[in-house]
């Protein structure tokens, strides 16, 4: 715990802590946007299409080899 000698030091620390809190809130908003984008249906569809393509290529290679 810090001992303060005057109100100027207290106000300075309060302003610094408020700015740190605002920065943390903005970082959380950014993370929220990233998660929202990652969970969008378009991204799920792209992932599914990628898996289907890989499976289809393996299927074709097996048919050609046999």
**Cβ-contact 43, 37 below 8 angstroms:** yes
pLDDT at 66 over 80: no
Please state the domain extents for the chain: 7-65
pLDDT tens column, 16-43: 999 999 999 999 998 888 888 777 777 7
Instruction: Name the strand (E) or helix (H) holding 60.
Output: helix 41-65
Entry pTM: 0.54
CA distance 54 to 40: 22
pLDDT at 39: 77
pLDDT tens column, 48-59: 888 888 888 888
């Amino acid at each position: 715990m810090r001992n303060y000698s005057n109100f100027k030091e207290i106000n300075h620390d309060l302003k610094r802590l408020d700015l740190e809190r605002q920065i943390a809130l903005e970082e959380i908003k950014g993370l929220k946007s990233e998660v929202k984008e990652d969970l969008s249906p378009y991204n799920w569809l792209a992932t599914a299409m990628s898996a289907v393509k890989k499976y289809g290529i393996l299927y074709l290679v097996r048919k050609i080899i046999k």
